[in-house]
Chains A and B, each alone.
Chain A
């Protein structure tokens, strides 16, 4: 199946831990994104990579570090997790930066920090 797949789907962890969320797309897209959706369902972009190059780096704590080993993968590593990091994190991809054909989203990772 062609898709954007992210793992894990659910992640429950204690404050202070370090965790990673993985994202892979097999659509041949050049551009990938990480979004955060908070408890009020408000979406916000965090990062975007185009062909492994960081192109969007919004104001997020530097505890969040994206890594793109190749254009099909964009992983999100979070250090020293805090309660406020609890949210749903969506990975997405688009054919290119212009996203003329829109975005394909992963199914989301629900992160709960306790």
Chain B
């Protein structure tokens, strides 16, 4: 069983829909990261969370440390949001664990 589980694995949405991607982890962490991998392969760091909530444009990320759970929300989704979203955690022992990614397709 992976230390980081993401759901759903695949997600198709209509343009304009509100999207939620979930990440659950089983280890104590010092930080959680959300990454975005574009269809061309490039990876962009979206958020680093250690508590609470962060917002950047149409993207919102939340974390609940007690429940070991984080969510990434995309408001007013757009086809350019189509990508793979990866949840990664830095465990307290300095190990890194990655989710298997959520492949998002937004249809115009």
Q: Which residues of A approach B to under 8 Å, CB–CB?
A: 40-45, 55-56, 58, 88, 90, 92, 98-105, 107-108
| Chain B residues within 8 Å of A104, by CB | 45
- Please give 14 more A-B residue pairs, beta carbons under 8 A apart, in addition to A101-B48, A102-B45: A41-B100, A41-B101, A42-B98, A43-B35, A43-B98, A44-B98, A45-B96, A45-B98, A56-B96, A58-B96, A98-B30, A99-B90, A102-B48, A108-B42
Q: Which residues of B approach A to under 8 Å, CB–CB?
A: 30-31, 33, 35, 37, 41-48, 84, 86, 88, 90, 94-96, 98, 100-101
Question: B44–A105 contact, CB under 8 A?
Answer: yes
The 24 listed contacts between A and B (C-beta, < 8 Å) are A41-B84, A41-B101, A42-B98, A43-B35, A43-B88, A44-B98, A45-B98, A55-B94, A56-B94, A56-B96, A88-B41, A90-B43, A92-B43, A99-B48, A101-B48, A102-B48, A103-B33, A104-B45, A105-B42, A105-B44, A107-B41, A107-B42, A108-B41, A108-B42
